[in-house]
Amino acid sequence: KEALEKTAAECKKRNKDVEVKIVVLDLNEKDSLASKAAEALTVFGKPVDVLINNGGVSTRVEARDCSISLDEYLLQVDFLSHVALTKELLGTMGENKNARIINIGSIASKVGLPVRSAYCAAKHALLGFMDSLRIECILQNHGHIHILNVILGSTNTPIPLSSVVGVSGSTIKTFGEEDKNVASGLNAEFVAERILSVSHHKTVNECWLAKGKELLVLYIAQYIPQTGFRLLLRGMAKQY
């Protein structure tokens, strides 16, 4: 909550007329998500205009050593929680001509990465779900609800520190180390500005934001899969 309050203060600093209210939730507490969505609707007494599915955690453990409980934890936090919140709020967006659902994915939404199998699974799943939902909205005459999937390259955030290596009951063991690729990644504020800009273009369903090498690998993996796989394998071998 402290970080959210800091962000709220920054928003007010930039625009003294803005009103910011905070609803705190835990994406891993699936039974609380419906009530939290309902609470969000009462904050300003009107439907949500923009839902940004951004919360999540990564992993740093090989698939063979990744427990089923850790797989379930990642799928809940990075996939099922976003699906739950989207479903709870989707029905209120029907009359809002500027409704937007923005999903923050990553390169892991498109390709497999070592020591991140559960993370990749969750990101792939969210991308597929939202692509399907977009078609359903259009077929049900709710095509004005803009669903944007963002495929994001390495971005300088603290996510490696909180990457999970194990789960035992309510105890979560984190990686707790820096990642030089993440540290040298895109500036988070730059990314936020680009996402906001792209979200105003309703004809854009998917946006890729990454630095040169990562963006090149994404393009090759998309259009020349076997070559992309070899390039990815070569790059990962240097870090593994």
Give me the helix-helix angle, 225-239 and 212-223, nearest 10°.
140
Q: Assign 3-class secondary structure to 178-213.
A: CCHHHHCCECHHHHHHHHHHHHCCCCCCEEEECCHH
240: CB partners within 8 A, 6+ apart: 114
Check residue 141 and give left, alpha or beta (phi > 0: left; psi -120 to 50: alpha): left
Active-site residue, 119 included: yes
Q: Which of 73, 119, 219, 240 is catalytic?
A: 119
Give me the helix-helix angle, 68-75 and 117-139, nearest 10°.
30
Instruction: Report the residue count for the chain.
Output: 240
Structure tokens at 224: 């020349």
CA distance 101 to 148: 6
Active site residues: 119
